[in-house]
Amino acid sequence: MKVITLVLSLMMISVVGHAEESPGASAEAAAASGKSKYVICRNDKVVRTIRVDTSSPKCKAIYSKDGKEDIVAKSGTAEKCFEVADQIRTNLEKSVWKCKDVQEDRVSFTLE
């Protein structure tokens, strides 16, 4: 039996408030409204991840499938990246995938 161990680290970002809205500020607002920057979805032993990276001026929505990450959206506002990530999650859940938000700084689990 093959055991796969997946260890993921999420970057914690501190945002300094600005008068104008920036992607970081949008991400902060999204986090406050309960949106997760990282989602993991499973269907039996298959795992896919969806994450939103707001560490640069343009946010990125990143989707991993079969061990390969693809940038599926880039935007000047984090809200757009969260919308794309939410749509991917909705599509997976409609196709019998089980998804959950990951809020922790570090996640570790084993798939058998």
Q: What is the dihedral of CA 6, 62, 38, 21, to 10 degrees?
A: 150
Q: How many CB atoms within 10 Å of residue 104?
A: 10
pLDDT in tens, 59-75: 999 999 999 999 999 99
Query: Residue 83 and residue 71: Cα distance in Å, rounded?
Result: 14
Instruction: For residue 107, name the pLDDT band (cuts at 50, 70, 90).
Output: low
DSSP 82: H
List, for residues 5-24, the tens digit of each pLDDT value: 333 323 222 222 222 344 45
Q: 70 near 85, Cβ under 8 Å?
A: no
Domain coordinates of the chain in residue numbers?
A: 4-8+22-104
Give me the helix-helix angle, 23-32 and 78-94, nearest 10°.
Answer: 50
CATH number of 4-8+22-104: 2.20.140
pTM of the model: 0.65
